[in-house]
Amino acid sequence: MIKKEFCAENFTRVPEAIELGADRIELCDELDVGGTTPSLDMIKETVRYAHQHGVSVVVMIRPRGGSFVYDQAEKEQMLKEAKQAIELNADGIVFGCLTEEGAIDRPITEKLIAIAGSKESVFHMAFDFIPAEKQMQELDWLIEKGCTRILTRGGKSGTALENKKQINALIEKAQSQIELLPGGGITHEDLNEIKAEIKANQFHGTKILPFPDNLK
């Protein structure tokens, strides 16, 4: 059974997405900069509606677009927003923090995983900005810390399908100890082809569902 995670910029398309078969909603704001933390009201409304329809919601925790290297004030903001999202009954939080050297910023990441607790913790596409030679080691660390899932396009650029070799290597390395969620250029129309090429059981995207404007 393949899970489809719909990346929603706000609540507007959530009801339609659920009707079209979304299994999980990743809720964020400002998709034009790669997604930032949505408002508390947006989280409340989305969680309430999705849960009424048996669909889970994970919430983006990101103070701004741009680099994934954050200063202390931004980290404090992320911790606060993560706690708020969990308190509002979100099913998980989505985040990604790196050091200047391109490794996972371990202290803040560990705190965010702890805030998620028994709910889902998702390290997002910041992972793709870790140098390829360090990714397997960093994947091991996320497993050790109990992170639920990694969202990846398999490279800094390109689509998941173009980067299928790296994504499949990560899936093989993970050995089901951590979930791998491919995203990046995945559409409803090419999902069947992608499923045949990437050995994952869940996929992510803004165009992963058959919205009428995705079928033009």
* CA pair distance 64, 74, nearest whole angstrom: 9
**pLDDT tens digits for 62-103?**
999 999 999 999 999 999 999 999 999 999 999 999 999 999
Q: What is the pLDDT of residue 70?
A: 98
CATH of 3-211, one of 3.40.50.150, 2.60.40.10, 3.20.20.380, 3.90.1150.10: 3.20.20.380
pTM value surpassing 0.85 = yes
The Cα–Cα gap between 62 and 118 comes to 21
What are the residues facing 123 on neighbouring strands? 95, 150
H/E element, 6: strand 3-8
List per-residue pLDDT tens for the chain, 216 residues long: 899 999 999 999 999 999 999 999 999 999 999 999 999 999 999 999 999 999 999 999 999 999 999 999 999 999 999 999 999 999 999 999 999 999 999 999 999 999 999 999 999 999 999 999 999 999 999 999 999 999 999 999 999 999 999 999 999 999 999 999 999 999 999 999 999 999 999 999 999 999 987 654
Entry field: residues in the chain:
216
DSSP string for residues in 55-82:
-EEEEE--SSSS-S---HHHHHHHHHHH
Q: Are 181 and 202 in contact (CB under 8 A)?
A: yes
State the CB neighbour count (10 A cutoff) for residue 24: 21
Per-residue model confidence (pLDDT) at position 1:
83
